[in-house]
Amino acid sequence: MRDAQATTIYLKDYQVPDFLIDRTALHFEIFDSHTLVHSTLAMRRNPAAKNASAPLVLDGCELELEALSIDDQAVTESGYESAGESLTIHTVPDSFTLRCTTRIYPQNNTSLEGLYKSSTMYCTQCEAEGFRKITYFLDRPDVMSVYTVTVDADSKRCPVLLSNGNLVSTETLEGGRHRAVWEDPHKKPAYLFALVAGDLERVSDTFTTMNGRKVDLHIYVEEKDLDKCDHAMLSLKNAMTWDEEVYGREYDLDIFNIVAVDDFNMGAMENKSLNIFNTSCVLASPGTTTDAGFQRVEGVVAHEYFHNWSGNRVTCRDWFQLSLKEGFTVFRDAEFSADMGSRVVKRVEDVGLLRTAQFAEDAGPMAHPVRPDSYMEISNFYTVTIYEKGAEVVRMIHTLLGPELFRKGSDLYFDRFDGQAVTCEDFVKAMEDASGMDLGQFRLWYSQAGTPQVDARGEYDAEANTYTLTFKQSCPKTPGQPQKEPFHIPIAMGLLGDAGALRLELKGEAPNPDTADNTHTVLHLKQAEQQFVFENVPEKPVPSLLRGFSAPVKLQFDYSRDELLFLMQHDDDGFNRWEAAQQLGVLALKELVAAHQNNEVRALDERLITAGRNLLNDDSLDLAMVALMLTLPTEAYMAEVMQPVDVLSIHAARMQARLELATALKEEFTNTYRTLSRRQGDYQPSAEQIAQRSLKNLCLQYLMLLNDEHSLQVCMEQLDTSDNMTDRIAALVALVNSEHEPQKALALQKFYQDWQHEPLVINQWFQIQATSHLPGTLKRVQELLNHPAFEIRNPNKVRAVIGAFCGQNAVNFHQTDGAGYRFLADRVIELNTLNPQIASRLLGPLSKWRKYLPEQQALMKAELERIAAEPKLSRDVFEVVSKSLA
Ligand code: 0A1
Ligand code: ZN
């Protein structure tokens, strides 16, 4: 564990490196008890450095230094100084060879950064600053080097030895050992280095690129998982084709490897030609994986592959630019998934995440701009803001430029900066240069944190036939940013009349020749207050605003409920049809929350029931849309639109609304369930089948709220006879959240017995129990921590039990006795020493304490203070706790 240091690193202090590393040769000798790392670095002073006689300062963390030389002259202890995470050599020539040997202990590395052991396999994770746990180096992304890597290990225990680039030789060594040498011809920063050694099997395929280069594709897994690689392989080939077609990007080596590991802090990592994946993001089979799991594999495989250009060929100058690669790559993978499956469903899911997790982050103590100005621990900045809001910012550029100019911009960006480490500014400038569009004001999206609030009002003048939209924008203050300038906000929109979409004639603007029917446009909202006048509007329209969620803002427009019902049926924009249903749900739920708070009894707005009935009876509708529109706003979204957050009332209101819908629409749910249960053919993770299962399982969930024998029977039958994990899990979730006690206990037991040899399935089993909204869940969660299948050192298990309970089970986590908060603080203190990144991530729900009711605030704050008082906090936890309490 690193010691907590309150040092803050600022973007404004960025300086080019004093030294460069042209070539890096690494030799790993892996033994059971330790690993020796011999490095040979060809170094020289950076001609662009400010200080031409600067000392050499290398990064290194928790390393045992065994040897150090410069141009083969040993550097003795008096020749260097080692402090904290650096080693300084005061005098060095302008150009020299640095050799160094370090001894490390992968088997003791529980932080899962650097070189570590996951069961019997060795693997690395170097982003962001893990390479310094392997050897002394200039561990910053703007120092790029060509690598040769030699790996020696026991032939039996580690028959597979992998690193980046091409395998250039193999050799049998004495003592039952062997060697592999890998060379990566592309220059790369240390964070993209990777090494894997272990007993793995592989699934192989090939891909021929647009220029006829044959690429060997391999997915390395444990032997028992060989049957779960097909979906990842197919996704990889689809992603390779898509990147050629949509971005003109071709793969640049003859080999592309993916390796699956059980213990991994994040989803996956884009190391050059050797992507390392959390097993949860690469393994999939119908019997063990849900539809959501299949889609996650497809998305993450594509995400990591796309990084080969947006991240590896063009990388980040410094970690403040993280969203340069992450925001852009998330935008790319989201568009890929939209093209592979259902575009509207993908958008609804992504906006759901953005509006709950990201908006909450942007309103809390850890709020930061897409390009942060400062950080204490960079691992804390792999956030929904950098990823998801960053992707929205790129999406807005796409909306403003249109697809052709955006492609021109991305071509220019890749061409201009290939092989370089660059900034978000470089990206925007390329987009600007290619398109001729002024993105001056738009750049504020990178520098200002917080979610803009946009209030819109519409006025129809029946005499003049004009419709005037008035927008006001503001942005709440965030840490370090008390005042904000107005943003450049693209508002995609249309106007709907009784007979359909109206033609748009914006006063002072020539009709847009690009849109043949002129019923859709993008308004550029740039001022704090701005009006747009539409002319020749024959009737009072209902505006459809922010189509496709064209900007990450909170939009307020006073729609009547009838107008929302109208939009639900008639909007040409699928996303906004869903959004109208959501906003109708929000209005209805707000009423029920208020009633609950005042101890009044109030029925759910009839209009929701009618709308639900219409949705279920209309055969012409897309099943996925019906499922989405029948899902009431989540508790997390209600918490975003109601402050202070009264968790228990929100839960009670939503439960009541769901029960009323289930009761009133019992017949429709039953019929729809029955119709959709007749599937044709084998399980496929296709958009069509996924839509069918999602609506069927939504019907089942509603029916199970009725707590009757018939629903129970249907549910048990689905659980027992399904051929796929999606349907099985859906039934188990419904059962676990029901009051059928004996059946529930038996089903959980049987499920465990059936699946105990599949860790990813057992994670789902853990998660289902940890997210039960019924009373007594905390006690069950505490028992689960002692279950033989639980391991505190495995991040997936921690996320499935502790993360799920604290982050996805508001009603139990926020119980008024504060036991949930105490539980989380204890786990954070325990994990702080084992795995600081995971500990710090778990803190999210506690850090937002100021949103809740006063009694809850006090209890949450007390737990944060208890953590703060711990003697040895990691930098990760220290940063989140101290900022939360500031
Ligand atoms: N670059 C990876 C995310 C990642 C970041 C840090 C990690 O270890 C601490 C691991 C992965 C991605 O965007 O997929
Ligand atoms: Zn990424």
- The 10 Å Cβ neighbour count of residue 415 is 10
CA atoms within 13 A on the CB side of 743: 21
Q: Quick check: 517 pLDDT over 80?
A: no
Is 9-199's fold the same as 559-706's?
no
118 to each of 11, 121, 124, 232, 266, how far by Cα in Å? 35, 5, 10, 21, 14
CA distance 587 to 601: 17
Question: Which residue is associated with the tokens 């410094």?
Answer: 318
Average pLDDT over residues 279-296: 98
- The 10 Å Cβ neighbour count of residue 523 is 19
Local structure of 108: helix, strand or coil: helix
pLDDT 10s digits, 416-451: 999 999 999 999 999 999 999 999 999 999 999 999
- Atom index in ligand 1 nearest the CA of residue 325 equals 13
Q: Looking at the domain 453-510+523-558, which fold is it?
A: Immunoglobulin-like (2.60.40)
Q: Which of 816, 817, 740, 827 lies closest to 781, judged by CA?
A: 827
* pLDDT confidence of residue 2: 47
| Helices 666-677 & 606-617 angle (0-180, nearest 10) | 30
Average pLDDT over residues 39-60: 98
Q: Which residue ranges make up each domain of the chain?
A: 9-199, 314-446, 453-510+523-558, 559-706
Q: Quick check: 6 pLDDT over 80?
A: no
Provide the token pair at 645.
């957050």
Q: Cis omega (within 30 of 0) on the bond before 644?
A: yes
Ligand 1 centre from 805 Cα, in Å?
24
**838 alpha carbon, closest ligand:** 1
State the DSSP string of 403-442: HHHHHHHHHHHHHHHTT-EE-HHHHHHHHHHHH----TGG
N-term to C-term CA, the chain: 24
Question: Which residue is associated with the tokens 């949930």?
Answer: 820
Ligand 1 centre from 126 Cα, in Å?
9
pLDDT 10s digits, 526-564: 999 999 999 999 999 999 999 999 999 999 999 999 999
pLDDT 10s digits, 216-272: 999 999 999 999 999 999 999 999 999 999 999 999 999 999 999 999 999 999 999
- Atom index in ligand 1 nearest the CA of residue 303 equals 14
Q: Quick check: 366 pLDDT over 70?
A: yes
CA distance 509 to 330: 34
Q: What is the mean pLDDT of the chain?
A: 97
- What is the phi/psi pair of residue 481, to 5°? -130, 80
Give the pLDDT band (50/70/90) at residue 515. low
Say yes or no: CB of residue 863 within 6 Å of ligand 1: no
pTM above 0.95, yes or no: yes
Share of the chain above pLDDT 90, in %: 98
Say yes or no: CB of residue 269 within 6 Å of ligand 1: yes
Q: Classify domain 559-706 at the CATH class level.
A: mainly alpha
Question: Which residue is associated with the tokens 């937002």?
Answer: 848
Q: How many residues does the chain have?
A: 886
* AA letter at 114: G
Please report, to the nearest 10 degrees, the dihedral formed by the alpha carbons of residues 311, 256, 799, 360 taken in order: 20
Contacts of 174 (CB under 8 A, 6+ apart): none
Pairing relationship of beta strands 121-125 and 195-198 according to DSSP bridges: antiparallel
For residue 591, indicate whether it is catalytic.
Answer: no
Which residue has the CA at smallest separation from atom 2 of ligand 1? 269
Counting DSSP H helices and E strands in the chain, the numbers are 30, 32
pLDDT 10s digits, 181-195: 999 999 999 999 999
* Set 113, 222, 304, 388: catalytic member: 304
Give the pLDDT band (50/70/90) at residue 513. low
The answer to whether the beta carbons of residues 406 and 398 sit under 8 Å apart is yes
User: Element (H or E) spanning 7, and its range?
Assistant: none
Provide the token pair at 9.
């690193």
pLDDT 10s digits, 257-274: 999 999 999 999 999 999
- The 10 Å Cβ neighbour count of residue 720 is 11
* pLDDT confidence of residue 516: 59
**111 alpha carbon, closest ligand:** 1
Say yes or no: CB of residue 142 within 6 Å of ligand 1: no
What CATH number labels 314-446?
A: 1.10.390.10
- What is the phi/psi pair of residue 645, to 5°? -85, 120
618 to each of 37, 534, 569, how far by Cα in Å? 66, 34, 11
CA distance 195 to 160: 11
What CATH number labels 9-199?
A: 2.60.40.1730
Ligand 2 centre from 713 Cα, in Å?
44
